[in-house]
Chains A and B, each alone.
Chain A
Amino acid sequence: MAAPFTLRKIGVPPNSANLTEARRRVFDYFRAACRSIPTIMDIYNLQDVVAPSQLRFSISAQIRKNAHVTDPKVIDLLLFKGMEELTDIVDHAKQRHHIIGQYVVGEGLVQNTGSKDQGKSDFLKNFYTSNYF
């Protein structure tokens, strides 16, 4: 088993010169995030909730949401915010329900089947969601 991965906190690097370097940074960030997944699952006790592959999928989905960006400076800023988020999560500055709400249920990986909704009729379900059905 490889040594556990630790997130090294480097200062803000200078802006990337072109799109290729920005791409490289995105992939580096993605790799760092994926390698921190075992730590994250350990900290927040997500072993029964998600699989690591599902968390990888949600990370890549977040990256893909911004895949249309072409300006290297914008990419740098998005990466900075992403790195901040990742550092917060790894430092246990967030809580379990944050992770589950934002990255598990939020990406549609695990359906939140509340027990109080199961016996209700379809009429009531539609009524609760909107006026027009």
Chain B
Amino acid sequence: MSTTFSSSVSSMQATSLATFQKPAALVSRTNLSFNLRRSIPTRFSISCAAKPETVEKVSKIVKKQLSLKDDQKVVAETKFADLGADSLDTVEIVMGLEEEFGIEMAEEKAQKIATVEQAAELIEELVEANK
């Protein structure tokens, strides 16, 4: 296959460069003619990498800390800032989570937490590392 390709390229170079019209043979060569062996899913689903019960516990602590009503929806993607927490509240929430799960978060990682999901994932990482 490669030899025919190079011959068709050389034939194209032989013709004048003013016309960029590719010969039909060259077009068919550049088709994707190989098959995809695995079927790639057409739709990505954004899934939470943390377990649901961890997310549940985190949301409970967040609600208690920020004094939210029980019917306020707190899901994995909720940002703490959206719930009315300032930066000190976020640190307090992180300390509450540390106490609840018996872990210690490094300062740099804890600074990056902005959503419930990030907190739950970090918690699970540390719980796994402790075992």
A, B co-complexed: yes
Residues of A in contact with B (beta carbons under 8 Å apart): 1-2, 23, 26-28, 30-31, 34-35, 37, 52-53, 56-57, 60, 63-64, 67
* Residues of the A chain whose Cβ atoms lie less than 8 Å from the Cβ of B95: 30-31, 34-35, 56
Contact across chains for A52 and B103 when beta carbons are under 8 A apart? no
Please give 20 more A-B residue pairs, beta carbons under 8 A apart, in addition to A2-B102, A35-B95, A53-B96: A1-B102, A2-B103, A27-B87, A27-B88, A27-B91, A27-B107, A30-B88, A30-B91, A31-B107, A34-B92, A34-B95, A35-B104, A37-B99, A53-B64, A53-B65, A56-B92, A57-B92, A63-B88, A64-B88, A67-B88
The number of inter-chain residue pairs (CB within 8 angstroms) is 43
Chain A interface, DSSP helix/strand/loop, else mixed = helix
**A interface footprint on B65-77 (CB within 8 Å = 1, 0 otherwise):** 1000000000000
* Residues of the B chain whose Cβ atoms lie less than 8 Å from the Cβ of A53: 64-65, 96, 99
* Residues of the B chain whose Cβ atoms lie less than 8 Å from the Cβ of A2: 102-104, 130
A1 to B98, CA, bound (A): 11
* Residues of the B chain whose Cβ atoms lie less than 8 Å from the Cβ of A27: 87-88, 91, 107, 111
Residues of B in contact with A (beta carbons under 8 Å apart): 64-65, 87-89, 91-92, 95-96, 98-99, 102-104, 107, 111, 130
16 pairs of residues in contact across A and B, judged by CB atoms under 8 Å: A2-B102, A2-B103, A26-B88, A27-B87, A27-B88, A27-B91, A28-B107, A31-B95, A34-B99, A35-B98, A35-B104, A53-B64, A53-B99, A56-B95, A60-B88, A60-B89
A35 to B102, CA, bound (A): 11
A23 to B92, CA, bound (A): 14
* Residues of the B chain whose Cβ atoms lie less than 8 Å from the Cβ of A57: 92
A60 to B92, CA, bound (A): 8
